[in-house]
Amino acid sequence: MGLSECNVMVVEDHDFQRRTTVRFLKDLGVKSVLEAANGRKAVNILTGRGRPLDIIFCDLDMPEMDGVEFIRHVAEEQLSQAVVVVSAMESSILHAVETMAKAYGLQLLGVIPKPLDSQKLASCISKFQPKEIIRKQSAARDEFTVEDLRHGLKEGEFIAYFQPKVSFATGEMKGVEALVRWFRPGHGMVPPAQFIPEMEHEGLVAHLTEVLLTQTCGYLKAWALMGHVVTASVNVSMLCLTDVGIADRLHDLVKESDCDPRQIILEVTETEVMTDVAKVLNVLARLRLKGFGLSIDDFGTGYSSLQQLSNVPFTELKVDQSFVKDSPTQPRHRTIIEASLGLAHKLKLKTVAEGVETRAEWDLLKSMGCQTAQGYFVARPMPGHQMPAWIQMWQAPEAACL
Ligand code: C2E
Ligand code: MG
Ligand code: MG
């Protein structure tokens, strides 16, 4: 396809930069260039247009609808065949965007750091291959092989999303939990429940923990530079705790990332019957000695939770979301929560309620003395680069009502 036949759009909130990009494109011979000052305006212009555009050039940091959200719309609604990201953002964010675009089957022709010039634009455009738009595919029921998992780990397809944890008492943001998402090319986003058991079975889950921990440390540093010093929780499958080398590996990894183990809480869930109790206890004790916080996840659902509590130096207890759900109307749920919080209090463990979805659940758990809230009522898990903006706009429900 010649440049003159290309239909392109420039989405950029900065007037001068947008006009400059448009001028470069016209100088290169592109005849039809649409413009929009942010993602929302671009979606409005493009929705209802008969056929998709060829290439969209977009910034990431824009008001109203940021570039990442915009690219998702472009992919899901098939508004364009290809995208070029023009951004001054750091490489970890750009990498996440690249993975997401690929997962949606969108052609990502390149990532151009600002300031851009016409040579870089031309080189991205030259990679464009017009073709039939790839049909949307649902990952939900897709099969995958162990090789797909290995390949995904190698290619950086597993990305940490983060969900905030806030104080019930003050509303203050205390930390985040890292939750993995698999952006599988051509299949969309695959949630952890679909692949963690397979990874555990195939002995890949320790590698996943290391990947998530590295990404998490990267974000902790980036957020701290913006003035947001928080802790981060990373999920660790009980199965990888039978490997005695893991305590040193996780410690070294955190140190190499320039972070402190005291910023990290490892959330341990019982996934299978613990076969090698002595080894697991040894590893957990050593992790604690090195400064990591240890949280017992989904408390109340594992068969030997109580026994574990007495043996392991846990620092935090997470009330499982199945008890939080409907707790305002379910006296039995309330009883279990009360007992869990009482036990945590006696053992001097911090308490977190997961799955807080409603104001009624927030009010109840707060009145019962739970310290920290996590759940959709506060925020859904989000990509790490969105966290600083979320922290800025977050208001505790009590404050929001004043
Ligand atoms: P979890 O560690 O107990 O994480 C909480 C889950 O509840 C997350 O699901 C989160 O998205 C979801 N959630 C949070 N708030 C709410 C709410 O208000 N309502 C509802 N209905 N759900 C809420 P997700 O991300 O699908 O993760 C599921 C599980 O997969 C996690 O449960 C954890 O056990 C496991 N997992 C996630 N990431 C990793 C990882 O990196 N490594 C390992 N080994 N396991 C992981
Ligand atoms: Mg967890
Ligand atoms: Mg949980």
Using the predicted structure, report yes or no on whether residue 402 has a pLDDT greater than 90: no
Structure confidence by residue, pLDDT tens digits, 284-337: 989 999 999 999 998 877 655 566 667 788 999 999 999 999 899 989 899 999
From the CA of 180, how far away is ligand 1's center (Å)? Answer: 8
**Quick one: which atom of ligand 1 is closest to the CA of 269?**
34
Cα 235 to ligand 1 centre (Å): 9
Which pLDDT does position 140 carry in this prediction? 42
Whole-number Å distance, alpha carbon 217 to ligand 3 midpoint, is 21
Question: What's the confidence (pLDDT) of residue 298?
Answer: 86
Domain 141-401 in CATH: superfamily? EAL domain (3.20.20.450)
The pLDDT tens digits of the residues spanning 367-389 come to: 999 999 999 999 999 999 999 99
Q: Name the residue of 179, 243, 316 whose CB sits within 8 Å of the most ligand 1 atoms, as the mutation to test its pocket.
A: 179
Catalogue the active-site residues.
Answer: 354
- Sequence-separated contacts (24+) of 260-264 with Cβ below 8 Å: 260/291, 261/287, 261/290, 261/291, 261/292, 262/291, 262/292, 262/293, 263/220, 263/230, 263/231, 263/232, 264/213, 264/216, 264/217, 264/231, 264/232, 264/233, 264/234, 264/292, 264/293
Residue nearest to atom 42 of ligand 1 (CA): 235
Nearest CA to ligand 1 atom 2: 235
Cα distance between residue 357 and residue 326, in whole Å = 9
Pocket probe mutation, ligand 1, options 235, 240, 324, 326, max atoms within 8 Å of Cβ: 235
| 200 CA: nearest ligand 1 atom | 44
Mean pLDDT for all residues in the chain: 88
pLDDT value, residue 141 = 42
Give residue 88's pLDDT: 80
Q: Quick check: 131 pLDDT over 90?
A: no
For ligand 1, atom 4, name the residue with the nearest CA.
179
Going from the Cα of 7 to the center of ligand 2, the distance in angstroms, rounded, reads 45
Kindly identify the ligand whose nearest atom is closest to the C-alpha of 197: 1
Contact 225, 264 (CB under 8 A): no
Average pLDDT over residues 145-152: 95
Residues of the chain above pLDDT 90, percent: 56
The per-residue pLDDT for 389 is 95
Predicted TM-score (pTM) of this structure: 0.70
Is the model's pLDDT at 357 over the cut of 60?
yes
CA–centroid distance, 391 to ligand 1, in Å, is 21
Q: Which atom of ligand 1 is nearest to the CA of 240?
A: 44
- Predicted confidence at residue 99, as pLDDT, reads 76
Tens digits of per-residue pLDDT, 163-202? 999 999 999 999 999 999 999 988 888 999 899 988 988 8
Residues whose beta carbon lies within 6 Å of some atom of ligand 1: 163, 179-180, 191-193, 196, 205, 208-209, 212, 235, 237, 267, 269, 297-298, 321, 354-357, 375-376, 381
Q: Whose CA is nearest to atom 35 of ligand 1?
A: 192
Which fold does the domain 3-137 belong to in CATH? Rossmann fold (3.40.50)
**In the chain, what are the domain boundaries?**
3-137, 141-401
pLDDT for position 48: 66
| Burial group, residue 402, by CB count within 10 angstroms (0-12, 13-18, 19+) | exposed
